Each structure stands twice: as structure tokens, then as C-alpha cells.
Chain A
Amino acid sequence: MTLTLDQIFVIAKHWLLGYVPSGARPIASAVISVVAILIVFPLLFAITTLLERKGLGRIQNRYGPNRAGPWGLFQPVADAVKSLTKEDIVPVTADHAVHFLAPLVLVTAALLAYAVLPVGRNMVLIDLNAGVLFFFAVGSVVELSVFMAGWSSRSKYSLLGAMRAIAQMISYEVPLVLASVVVIMQSGSLSTVAIVDRQAGYTGIFPHWYVFTPWGIVGFILFMIAATAESNRSPFDLPEGESEIIAGYYIEYSGFKFALFFLGEYLGMFATSGMAITLFLGGWSAPLSFLTFIPSYVWFFLKLLALIGGFIWIRGTLPRLRMDQLMNFAWEFILPMALLNMLVAGVWRYMPPSILRWLVCAAIVAVPWLLLTRNLKRKKRFEIRTYTFAE
């Protein structure tokens, strides 16, 4: 019974495919899965916009939106209607073709990334042999769309925002990939399905998730920091800093195209969260062995919602990082920690399982953490400010 509930979407898909002539079955199967992704994740986007506004409101001691329906539940509908009916203003000197294509490229790249996320048992769109590589390859197309948006608007602010955004994204892409390399080292495969399968076992009641190892927890934290920076989310949202350069690279976009940028950014956030869940948090497997009766896709979405809640929490807590602080953080702290993490993962693999393994690995990670962070607090002493001309 639980197995049927778990596989209900797979069974439904096979039933639907029964109505399709057998020649067209592969294409129809792909189309059905694509339609499912296109329904679920934008719906999740709508729910997330509401959750974020209400969550941020409560963190800031106020109600979120609560007028458009009970508890503001129809606020996403109101937002959709607003963005669809707003006038689409394109600057006269803008590059119209590129201006039009930029949000499309963003949304396409963000949606392509969902093809390799295993949402449940047997529920992945395509089981690529190099699934993780596909994910990061598609993620690097996003930067191109950022450039297209910033350049085509022919505006100083948008160009500046685009430059900053691309610099930030390429700086954090390296730690993102390196943080996931440890998982690949440990599981020996680039296929997301294989990675999740390796984490689906239990010793006693505790799962084999990679996050419960020294290199796993560090890798997870680094991955989440890099993911926050990749999707331009607070505290790394200087490119779209609402109080600084208004909206950065999508300042000249209005109406539906702006909504598409918003959608693309959030979809990117979900995709990287989904990848973090796949790599570190065991994908669709349950946290305790007696909870496996709950369907696998429920666990995936619960973990996804937890990570989204984490994003919202961090957004409500931390102030924005300045550009140079951001870059310093990436190149002087995150990247060395990611490299050391790889060393730790190697040590872990070749030491026999014991408490010593834990201590050694934790030491290799903790000592540089303390030393590197001393570097981050620059030697600047705060001096009393002296004025040259005012005295």
C-alpha cells in the first residue's frame, strides 16, 4: 500500500502512456514529465513568494500581506494579475532582440536543471550518467542571460549591476562545484540517482546521509552559501540591491518580463536547493528508518521547504554584503575551505571507520576555519577620523 502511494505518479504516468501509440511513447513520456515539472515548480514559486513575504513580515514584527484572501493566500494571484497587466516598457535605445531573449534564456536554463533531480523513488526526468555535470553546465548558462539583460538595457545602472552580478556568479561557481565534488568522490558516480541510492540505507535508525559526516556538513554549508550567492539572494544580493542600484541588471524590465526574471531567480534557488538535498541530505529518503512509510516525494518537498525556509530566515537576518567583502569571502575563505574539504573527504575514505576518523577530519576542517577567518577581519583598526579641511 505504501509502495503504491509512493509510486502513484509513476503508475499514473504509465497508465497515461497506455493511451499513446507505442511509437510515440518515449516522446510522450518526456512530455508528461516535463509538464509535471512545469506545473509543480512554478506553483511552488507562487507559494514561496507568499511564504517569503509573510515570513519576512513576521520576522520584522509585522503582518505580511493579509488582504488578498484569507491570510493573504491569493496574493500570488494578485501579483500574477498585476505583472501580466502592467505596461511593458522597453527603452527606445535598447537592443530589442536581446532584451526580449534575456528572460527567456534565464527561465529556460533554470528549468533545464530540474531534469536531473530525483524528486522521488524512480521519479527523475532523465537518469544521465553525468547528471551533476549537466546541472552545473546548465547553471553556467544563467550568467549569460544576466549579461544579456544588463547590456541590452543600455543603461549605466543595469550594466554596472550586470558586471557585478556576473563577477559574483563566476566567483561562487567554483566553490559550488568544489563543494559538490566531495560527494562525487565519496559516492563514485556523477549520476544523481546513484548518489541518492547510496544515501538511502540505514544503520539502526540513522540514515546514511552525507550531511552527517564532517566533510558532509562542511560541504553542505559551503554549498548553501555558494547557492545563496549564485541565485543573488540576500545577503549576496548586491546586484539586485533594492536600495542601492534599484534593481541592478533588470532595472529596465517591467511587467511580465520582470516576473519572468523573478521566476527564473527563484527557480534557480529551488534547483540548487534540490541539488543540495540530492547530494547531501539524501534526496527522497526518510530521515529515520521507521518513517519510510511516508512517500518519497513528500520527503523531498519537505526538505525543499525546509531549505527555502532557511533561505528566508537568512534573508531576514543578515545585512547585505558589499561587493569587495563578497569577493573576498569567496576567494579567501570559501574556496580554501572547499579545497580543504576535498582533502578531508579523501582522508575519510582511506581511514578505517572509527572515532579517530571523525576527530582527524574535524580537526582538518576546524583549524583552518579559525585561522582563515582571522584573515577576513582585516587588520583595520578603527581610528578617530581626522578631517583635513574641516578643522
Chain B
Amino acid sequence: MVGNGILKGLAETARNFFGSYVSKDRLTTIQYPEERIEQIESTRDFPFLVYDGADWHAGMRCVACQICEKECPPKCIYIEKSKDKKPDAVGKPQAYPAVFNIDISVCMSCQICVEVCPFDAIKMDVVFDLPTDDRFGGLLLNKQQLAKSNDYYHQIHPTEAAAVDSALAEERAKADAKAKAAAEAKASAPAPGVPKPTPPGPPNPAGGETK
């Protein structure tokens, strides 16, 4: 009978209408900005520079190796190496970036800079609402704006941060052990006159020349 489908359709929409007031499944709208969707841990939006400790300049892990600048596909990173050196995360004196700019209007959140960084200095942030009325300058983040602490990194990506921290601690321990061994070696340097133990020489060439 004609009209049957129409009546069924009307019943369905009526059910939708009244159901949307009653059950939360029917009305799935999230009222941004009062409510937000929970983000998963591996959310990534724009990069930021990690620093350890309280001083953002002294504790910054970045050593201006410029690998991320070269690997970035849309070339949104701009680095200027400094002339002097400062100790890095492991303790070794390294250069640091005098200028580190990321243009987040160009950045495509591909995370390649994070993947190639050998120093775990640049990681992905989860902040996405960065509106500004300055069309060009407002979306160009400089070093200070990009610097966020390791505690913040622990907050946003706990498992990653824990893994990075343990890796860095290992490296630091190894570096410390090496430094201690070097210091010990230097401290227990032999007195002049004691013959130095000769290192084993090259293998006898006149021996078995098999091939």
C-alpha cells in the first residue's frame, strides 16, 4: 500500500527525535570547546623541543645536528647552529641551535623529524587549537615557544617518555662509566721506566697462506 513506507519513515524519524533527548547514543555531538574528545596516546600534531630540568636553554637536548631540517619533507624547520658549545643531555659539550624555527602552517605532522632525531630532542605535541590573527608570524614558532619540559612530555606521552628516559639514562650511565674509566686510566697511568706491555703484533704473514 502506498504510504506504508512513508509512515515507517515517519516513525523512524520520530524515534530519532525523541530518542535524541533521552539517550546519549543517539546524540553523539561533542560540544567543542566545552567538551573535548579524549585523545589517544599516540596523537601527534606539531613538534616541540624537549628540555630536561628547569632551565629551558641549558637543558635542551637539541645539538643542532640539522638532520631533522634536512629530512623534513615540506622543509618547515629552520636551524642556525651556534658558535659556542654547551653540554648536552649525555654530558658531552656540543653545539646548540641559536635559531630553531618551525612554520606550523607548513608542517604536515608526518613525524619524520622525530623518527630521525638521534638525540630524542624533538617530539610531537598534542595541542591542535593554535588560532592566531597574525597570518604569517603567528604560525612561526621559535625556539622558546617550542621548548617544553620533559615533565610535560611525560604527561602527554607517558610510555614513550618513559622509554626515552630509560634509553637516555643508559647512555648517560655508559658515558659516565667511560669517563670514569678514562679518568681511572689517566689516574693510574704507569710511572716512567716501567716497560709498557706490548700489544700483540700482526699475524705472521709467512704462516699459512691458504688462498
Contacts and interface: CB of A to CB of B under 8 A. Distances in A.
Chain B interface size, under 10 / 10 to 19 / 20 to 34 / 35 or more: 10 to 19
B128 interface: no
Contacts of A94: none
Contacts of B17: 55, 58-59, 313, 316
A66 B21 CA distance: 14
Interface string A55-69: 100111111001000
B2 A317 contact: no
A372 to B, nearest CB: 8
A74 interface: no
A83 B13 CA distance: 31
Contacts of B28: 61
Nearest to B26: A61
A55 B18 CA distance: 10
A62 B29 contact: yes
Contacts of A55: 17
B42 interface: no
A313 B2 contact: no
Contact of B16 (A58, A63, A370, A373): A58
Contacts of A262: none
A356 interface: no
A318 interface: yes
B29 A313 contact: no
B58 interface: no
A151 to B, nearest CB: 35
B6 A61 contact: no
A313 B14 contact: yes
B13 A317 contact: yes
Interface string B1-44: 11000100110111011001100001111010000000000000
Nearest to B21: A58
Contact of B2 (A63, A314, A376): A376
Contact of A63 (B6, B14, B31): B31
Nearest to A221: B3
Contact of B27 (A62, A314, A370, A373): A62
Interface in A23-75: 55, 58-63, 66
A100 interface: no
Of A55, A59, A63, A66, which is in contact with the most chain B CB atoms at under 10 Å from its CB?
A: A59
The A interface, classified by DSSP as helix, strand, loop or mixed, is helix
Interface string A306-350: 000000011011100000000000000000000000000000000
Contacts, number: 42
Interface residues of A, number: 17
A258 interface: no
Nearest to A372: B2
Nearest to B28: A61
Given A318-B9, A370-B1, A59 B29 contact: no
Contact of A317 (B1, B9, B26, B29): B9
B27 A63 contact: yes
B13 A313 contact: yes
A369 interface: yes
A61 B16 CA distance: 7
Nearest to A66: B31
Contacts of B2: 369, 373, 376
A376 B3 CA distance: 12
A20 to B, nearest CB: 48
Contacts of A58: 16-17, 20-21, 27
Contacts of A59: 13, 16-17, 20
B10 A317 contact: yes
B32 to A, nearest CB: 11
Contacts of B14: 313
Most chain A CB within 10 A, of B6, B13, B26, B28, is at: B13
A63 B10 contact: no
Most buried by B among A318, A370, A376: A318
Contact of A373 (B1, B13, B20, B21): B1
Contacts of B9: 317-318
A318 B6 contact: yes
A371 to B, nearest CB: 11
A228 to B, nearest CB: 12
Nearest to B6: A318
Contacts of A313: 10, 13-14, 17
Interface in A276-315: 313-314
Nearest to B11: A317
A313 B26 CA distance: 17
Nearest to A370: B1
Contacts of B20: 58-59, 61
What 10 pairs across the A-B complex have the smallest Cβ distances?
A: A373-B2, A317-B9, A317-B13, A58-B20, A59-B13, A58-B17, A59-B17, A62-B29, A316-B13, A59-B16
Given A66-B31, A369-B2, A370-B1, 9 more contacts: A58-B21, A59-B13, A60-B16, A61-B28, A313-B14, A314-B10, A317-B12, A317-B13, A318-B6
Interface of B: 1-2, 6, 9-10, 12-14, 16-17, 20-21, 26-29, 31
Interface of A: 55, 58-63, 66, 313-314, 316-318, 369-370, 373, 376
12 contacts: A58-B16, A59-B13, A59-B17, A59-B20, A60-B16, A61-B16, A61-B28, A63-B29, A313-B10, A313-B13, A313-B14, A317-B10
